[in-house]
Structure 1
Amino acid sequence: MEERLKRCVALGKEAAKEGQVASYIPELKKGNPEDVGICIVDLQGKVYGAGEFKKNFTLQSITKVISLLLALEDRGAEEVFRHVHMEPTGDSFNSIMSFEVKNPTKPFNPMINAGAMVVSSLILGDSPEERIQRLLAFTDRLSGTPGHVIDERVYRSEKETGDRNRSLAYFMKSTGIMEGNTEEILDLYFMQCSILGNCQDIAAMGAVLASNGRHPFTGERILKKENARIVKTIMTTCGMYDASGEFAVSCGIPAKSGVGGGILGAVPGVLGVGTFGPALDRKGNSLAGIRMLEYLAHDMDLSIF
């Protein structure tokens, strides 16, 4: 396995040469486009890693998986999907047009920004501080690693430059889609995206999903089986933004990307995988991560299709 993962890193480094780090969040510009890492956690709890798999980065949209799982555990599927659809979209993750023109009643799915903000507003708690602490504690449980924190510099950078997300949030508030204090929900969302983690953390999360809710390190049931199933399905159809269909064909692994460079993957009944490579393609997905996952999928016959 170690040699296979070293091969992945070599392929990922080559692919990363064609990408660029995210620039619309100023702090993310500081990422090193040459960083590449990968980690696998199998369902027996064995950990295999190569490259920069222990380097921390902000999880960004990978946290949409975490917040959706927590909202489902808090509220149940019927209530969550009363507020957000579960359908894929062919538009970008922060599109206003697709939301306002095509589907004005509620966001298409929890993996785009509008949907993720609605989901975050459903997490139980009396304040953004209580909700983010619950989200951090839940991240600890899913990853099997205590002490997750927010990168304050990235959080401030996102808050200062998040005009598109602010526009989406206030549009949803104006139409009655999103309830609660809009600025508090935005603050929670910006903090959520700024949670720090590494490849091993997200690989362990993927393994929890792959085992239908049981943690590979302890055997403890972390999630309801049905919630794990729902989230894996939405990851498959919506997790790679408007490249989700292409990724399903080329790789076939339920996955969720983030503009910090990470990708979380869950192969049902087999393993969880986490990749890191901040050089992105035009759709906001890690080029190194996609290349590594494609190689693994073919080399280990991991496609669910």
Structure 2
Amino acid sequence: MNQIKEDIKDYLEKIIKEEKQAARDGKIPEYIEKVDNEDHGAVSMAMMGLDGRYVQAGDDEGTFSIQSISKIISLAVALMDQGEEEVFKHVGKEPTGDPYHSLSKMELQEDGGPLNPMVNAGAIAVVGQVKGSSVDEKFGRILDLTRKLAGNDKIDYNPEIVKAEGHDLNRALFYYNRYGGYINEKHDLEDVLPVYWRMTSIEMNIKELSRIAAVIANYGVDIETGEELIPRDVVRVLKTFMVTCGMYDQSGAFAVDVGIPAKSGISGGIMAAIPGRMGIGVLGPDLNEHRNSIAGIRLLRNISERWNLSLFNQ
């Protein structure tokens, strides 16, 4: 399937209805549920073609925080600022079977660095590579790219989510990174972590998420203006990490079962980019034990099988 067609909406509504009950078996993080007021069993899905055609089905949940999906955008900014060689002096390229907030692999490795940019420790190290003289400037550059990718210059972060998150583990990851030299010793915690907390609290709707995915699927070129928002070589790196590390410690199973470059967040969002074809946004706030959306994964597996979307079948 290379285009968004009118009859797709009926099919999406059908499979969303089928998945709603299964979604209720999951859990919503307490602070997400409290601030975002997300509903158990709510599911929505949006697909945007590279010609800008768009279809949405399911519940209209308004805006939600993108959480770890923002790690793709901050990595893009850091790579454009510093280049691959410099960025990957501070963070590795390997997937991990451990939870996204784990310290254990860093402790066991000989060099002790964060394994990849999609785990929290790696994302914090990446934020340390974003250029800017202040927190506002660094975050502003990440937010500016987010707005361009999503096609909405009003997108912003929710300060209530920043306040509600538990920050102590992220502080520990920052200091572990700085101790090992993966964050510049001149950086103080207040130079880096507020940027990280704000970017994970950026809010948008499901259509905007699908548009970001569509631009990535279009090799970094805006689907309306034709402007290159992210260089093609940077998009290659982003898509590779989406395949190998984008779904936390469920990434290997997702690659086998779905085979689409994707990045999830603990608000229940999943952004999936099918190169040269379309972008997909899914929101299902009920999470499995890997902190991924139950309904989101089931829906993506369904459409991947139906329309032969897996990269590994091409």
Counterpart of 1:284? 291
Aligned equivalents of 1:137 and 1:56: distance in 2?
A: 18
Aligned equivalents of 2:284 and 2:22: distance in 1?
A: 10
Equivalent of residue 206 in structure 2, options 199, 208, 212: 199
Instruction: Find out whether 1:268 has 2:275 as its counterpart.
Output: yes
User: How do residues 116-127 of structure 1 correspond to structure 2 at under 5 angstroms?
Assistant: 116-127=123-134
Amino acid at match of 2:175: Y
Counterpart of 1:170? 175
Q: Deviations over 1:242-276 (max 9, x none)?
A: 10000011100000000011000000111000000
**TM-score, normalised to structure 2's length?**
0.92
Runs of 4+ residues over 3 Å off in structure 1: 24-30
Aligned equivalents of 1:80 and 1:177: distance in 2?
A: 10
Counterpart of 2:67? 60
Distance verdict in 2 for CA 1:54–1:33, change over 3 Å: closer
Q: Deviations over 1:227-251 (max 9, x none)?
A: 1111101110000011000001110
Paired residues of 1:11 and 1:291 also in contact (CA < 8 A): no
Equivalent of residue 36 in structure 1, options 36, 43, 47: 43
- Which stretch of structure 1 is more off in the superposition, 14-23 or 99-108? 99-108
Aligned equivalents of 2:119 and 2:31: distance in 1?
A: 17
Instruction: Find out whether 1:189 has 2:196 as its counterpart.
Output: yes
Flag structure 2 segments of 5+ consecutive residues without an equivalent.
Answer: 1-7
Aligned equivalents of 2:19 and 2:91: distance in 1?
A: 35
Aligned equivalents of 2:252 and 2:18: distance in 1?
A: 22
Aligned equivalents of 2:126 and 2:60: distance in 1?
A: 29
Distance verdict in 2 for CA 1:31–1:90, change over 3 Å: same
Instruction: Find out whether 1:109 has 2:131 as its counterpart.
Output: no
Paired residues of 2:261 and 2:272 also in contact (CA < 8 A): yes
Flag structure 1 segments of 5+ consecutive residues without an equivalent.
Answer: none
Aligned equivalents of 1:10 and 1:55: distance in 2?
A: 19
Shift of 1:30: 3.8
Shift of 1:103: 5.3
Paired residues of 1:251 and 1:297 also in contact (CA < 8 A): yes
Aligned equivalents of 1:130 and 1:149: distance in 2?
A: 14
Equivalent of residue 244 in structure 1, options 251, 256, 261: 251
Q: Deviations over 1:123-143 (max 9, x none)?
A: 111111111111111101111
Q: Give the % identical residues.
A: 39
Paired residues of 1:23 and 1:29 also in contact (CA < 8 A): no
3-state secondary structure, aligned to 1:221: coil
Paired residues of 2:15 and 2:299 also in contact (CA < 8 A): yes
Distance verdict in 2 for CA 1:72–1:98, change over 3 Å: same
Distance verdict in 2 for CA 1:53–1:206, change over 3 Å: farther
User: Aligned pairs, how many?
Assistant: 303
Q: Deviations over 1:277-296 (max 9, x none)?
A: 11000111011110111111
- Which stretch of structure 1 is more off in the superposition, 49-58 or 263-272? 49-58
Aligned equivalents of 2:111 and 2:207: distance in 1?
A: 38
3-state secondary structure, aligned to 2:152: coil
Instruction: Find out whether 1:154 has 2:167 as its counterpart.
Output: no
**TM-score, normalised to structure 1's length?**
0.95
Shift of 1:94: 0.3
CA RMSD of aligned residues (A): 1.6
Paired residues of 2:45 and 2:57 also in contact (CA < 8 A): yes
